[in-house]
Amino acid sequence: MAAVAGDDSVAAGRDANVSADRGSVAAEVIHGIGMYVEAPRPEAARLPVSLPPRPLALAGREDLLADLHGLLAADNEPTPQVVALCGLGGVGKTSLAAEYAHRHLAELGIAWQVQAEDPVVAAAGIAELAAQAGGRGAADPRDPVASAHAILAAWPGQWLLIFDNAPDEGSVRRFLPPAGRGRVLITSQSQHWPGAHVVDVPVLDLAVAARFLKSRAGDPDQEAAVDLAAELGGLPLALAQAAAYAQATGITLASYLGMFRQRQAELLVRGEAPGHPATVAATLGLALARLDADAPAAGGLARLLAFLAPEPAPLTLLLANQEAVDVELDADVAAVLGPLLGDQLAVGDAVAALRRYSLVTPAGDGMVLAHRLVQAVTREQVPVEQARMWQRAAAALTEAAIPADPSLPDGWPACAALLPHAQAVLGLTSSGMWKIARYIGDSGSYRAARDMFARIAAAHELEVSYGPEHRDTLVARYTLAVLAGKAGDAAEARELLAALLPDVVRVLGPDHPDTLVTRNNLASWTGEVGDPAGARDQLAALLPDKERVLGPDHPSTLTTRHELARFTGQAGDPAGARDQLAALLPDVVRVLGPDHPSTLTTRHVLASWTGEAGDPAGARDQLAALLPDVVRVLGPDHPNTLTTRYELTRWTGLAGDPAGARDQLAALLPDVVRVLGPDHPSTLTTRRSIEYWTSEAAPTG
């Protein structure tokens, strides 16, 4: 029975008994990185050599081979150089290792590959190496591993030992030679290899897959070939099956692609690929059937993954909290998935069971990747009503895993991991999708967040349970406007808010808090578009209404006073802004407390307008006094903390100490990059400021 397509052992063409018939798929295998044919074995070597056949070509891998040689070829080192080639099954790690070995045979006294997936097989391979390299009499049958290590340590020249398809570091640890002038190359799906250089082998090369499709189907349509290769995920068996079906029926690749997008399940059982007795559906379906019998929880996990996006799934997040989602799961789903929720050990067992059938690939800590065709076959096996249950389960687990406050950087890695799955399973009107869209904006991708909220707002307007006058629809339109401004289009923000305000007034009334907030933000974006005097006047007109409706001590009223002070300053009266903020601060402290974030913000802005009013040293001193409180309340990595540090550097420079500003910014930059990322707008601003203050601090003359 053929193994699951995509596994290295299927696609690499390693079997010495593969037919050399150039017309058969078995003799011409697509393996993600090139086309391979059975090549003659090396001529009899003077010294021990045991390698798979050399691939005929490795398209696009020259740079990777050069990098690999640079890591391995460290002459005269007393200990072996160890490199782990990591990547998904079927990506071409084994073929890359074989090509490297064949290219450098002239430099090597020993070149030996060990099948490392099974420790018993690996031990036998090491024993054979000891017998071949040291002579049958020299190898100690009681401990062939120690014999091999002794032989390699004493070997006078360079040697290469390949451990192929190693599950993890622990599985080969006892086989790794501790000494000798050698090279150790490990191929593995695992990314965790302490003590070794890790080289990631990129997943399927679509250009190569497309060339295979064109060649086998006799169709020169490059665009269709590339698109079809992507749809098939580069799976070798699926590529061969698609090409065979197209060739047999006489249809074009473009026609096959169109049918595949509409009738995927049916095509996965059609197209007899030479050299493969089973179709994709049959091959994968058999593995899934065995899984259900051997490990029902793992079968449930396979179904959950099938209804998520074809991206790495963060199981540590999705299956973390039983209490959060068990009431939302259908009984049949809960019976299967229940044992996995909140139990990392059970999840690990389920993943191990899936890996036994090559149905998932580890994709980092707590994440697994299911091939898109594994997902397709799994979905097809689930009856329609059960499919709806699993869709609901995928949505419930994804929504529960999204952090409650997407504005906090600590939750951004989780949001990033969940993003493709949220887009695959959550509706645009769900609270989870709102939080994901907010995360996109809070992390600095304002344009992407704006575009997502445009879709969210449109979905609310069209959905019967909401409609254009629903409060959530109005909030979505409001958020869209704010994000448009943050994305750099203040005019669009103002126009959207100006269009929104009459609807808010009509639906909610002129004195509704949301109406007042909309007026406040319309005024703010009016100022941002270049009309600070207009913003000031709108806010001055708004303030009495807020005081009347909400009261003078309401936080929203205090916000309007804050914004009024800001645009008073921007309209040309920095001293007036300073004085208004100085009058506002005691009220903010009294109402919200000295440690409230809004209190800290008011102190921050007061310091800035103190500087703008002509007292940069005063601004510097106020910010220096503020910073410890911000760190204590918000933490050292909060974006507001980073902003306070940035403003302190600015006023330090303007107060006459450009070198001090430069040094503070140099200390700030690594923290900004670590927290916000290298491409965040604040990171770019910090870099530009370093350049500016460095030039200002440079001696002249």
Determine the 3-state secondary structure of 423 from DSSP. Answer: helix
Say whether both 297 and 259 belong to one domain.
no
Which carries the bigger pLDDT value, residue 373 or residue 513? 513
In this structure, is residue 547 part of a structural domain?
A: no
Say whether both 118 and 188 belong to one domain.
yes
Domain boundary among 150, 182, 199: 199
Q: Is the pLDDT of residue 121 over 80?
A: yes
> pLDDT by residue (tens digit) across 630-669?
999 989 988 889 999 999 999 999 999 999 999 999 999 9
Say whether both 375 and 415 belong to one domain.
no
Say whether both 68 and 101 belong to one domain.
yes
Of 176-185, 330-339, 663-672, minimum mean pLDDT range: 330-339
In this structure, is residue 123 part of a structural domain?
A: yes
Say whether both 358 and 389 belong to one domain.
yes
> pLDDT by residue (tens digit) across 461-489?
998 889 999 999 999 999 999 999 988 89
Say whether both 142 and 195 belong to one domain.
yes
Task: Please report the pLDDT score of residue 31 as a whole number.
Answer: 34
Residue 32: pLDDT band (50, 70, 90) is very low
In this structure, is residue 462 part of a structural domain?
A: yes
Q: Is the pLDDT of residue 14 over 70?
A: no
Task: Please report the pLDDT score of residue 36 as a whole number.
Answer: 33
For residue 153, how far is the Cα from the chain centroid? 42
In this structure, is residue 552 part of a structural domain?
A: no
Sheet containing 367-369: give its strands across.
313-314, 367-369, 361-362
Say whether both 96 and 149 belong to one domain.
yes
Task: Please report the pLDDT score of residue 117 as a whole number.
Answer: 82
Burial class (CB in 10 A: 0-12, 13-18, 19+), 667: exposed
Determine the 3-state secondary structure of 35 from DSSP. Answer: strand
Residue 359: pLDDT band (50, 70, 90) is confident
Question: What stretches of 411-522 adopt beta strand conformation (E)?
Answer: none
Q: Which tokens hold the place of 640?
A: 């507001």
How many CB atoms are closer than 10 A to CB 541? 11
Domain boundary among 488, 504, 522: 488
In this structure, is residue 562 part of a structural domain?
A: no
Of 60-74, 217-231, 437-451, 509-523, which has the strongest mean pLDDT?
509-523
Q: Is the pLDDT of residue 13 over 70?
A: no
CA geometry: angle at 361 spanning 421 and 2, to 5°?
120
Say whether both 130 and 71 belong to one domain.
yes
In this structure, is residue 275 part of a structural domain?
A: no
Say whether both 80 and 188 belong to one domain.
yes
Burial class (CB in 10 A: 0-12, 13-18, 19+), 17: exposed
Q: Which tokens hold the place of 128?
A: 């054979």
Say whether both 286 and 383 belong to one domain.
yes
Q: Which tokens hold the place of 193?
A: 């290899």
In this structure, is residue 533 part of a structural domain?
A: no
- The answer to whether 336 and 297 are in contact (CB under 8 A) is yes
List the CATH number of the domain containing 170.
Answer: 3.40.50.300
Task: Please report the pLDDT score of residue 289 as a whole number.
Answer: 73
Domain count, the chain: 5
Closest by Cα among 459, 453, 516, 458 to 484:
453
Determine the 3-state secondary structure of 289 from DSSP. Answer: helix
Q: What DSSP string runs through 67-97?
A: HHHHHH--TT-SS-EEEEEE-STTSSHHHHH
Task: Please report the pLDDT score of residue 134 as a whole number.
Answer: 74
- pLDDT > 70: what percent of the chain? 83
Task: Please report the pLDDT score of residue 159 as a whole number.
Answer: 93
Say whether both 80 and 184 belong to one domain.
yes
Say whether both 320 and 378 belong to one domain.
yes
Task: Please report the pLDDT score of residue 279 as a whole number.
Answer: 56
Of 20-29, 66-75, 497-506, 539-548, minimum mean pLDDT range: 20-29
- The answer to whether 3 and 286 are in contact (CB under 8 A) is no
Q: Is the pLDDT of residue 45 over 60?
A: no
CA distance 389 to 193: 39
> pLDDT by residue (tens digit) across 366-393?
888 887 878 887 888 888 888 899 999 9
Residue 493: pLDDT band (50, 70, 90) is very high
Q: Summarize the confidence of residues 202-207 as an average pLDDT.
A: 66
Residue 570: pLDDT band (50, 70, 90) is very high
Residue 248: pLDDT band (50, 70, 90) is low
The values of phi and psi at residue 365, to 5°, are -60, 115
Q: Summarize the confidence of residues 135-149 as an average pLDDT.
A: 74
CA distance 257 to 228: 6
Q: What DSSP string runs through 485-498?
A: HHTT-HHHHHHHHH
In this structure, is residue 34 part of a structural domain?
A: no
> How distant, in Å, are the alpha carbons of 17, 25, 28, 146, 626 from that of 21?
11, 9, 9, 42, 77
> pLDDT by residue (tens digit) across 409-424?
888 999 999 999 999 9
For helices 344-356 and 296-306, the axis angle rounded to 10 degrees is 80
Determine the 3-state secondary structure of 299 from DSSP. Answer: helix
Task: Please report the pLDDT score of residue 259 as a whole number.
Answer: 80
pTM comes to: 0.58
Domain boundary among 381, 398, 415: 398
> pLDDT by residue (tens digit) across 231-245?
877 666 677 677 777
The parent domain of residue 220 ranges over 206-267
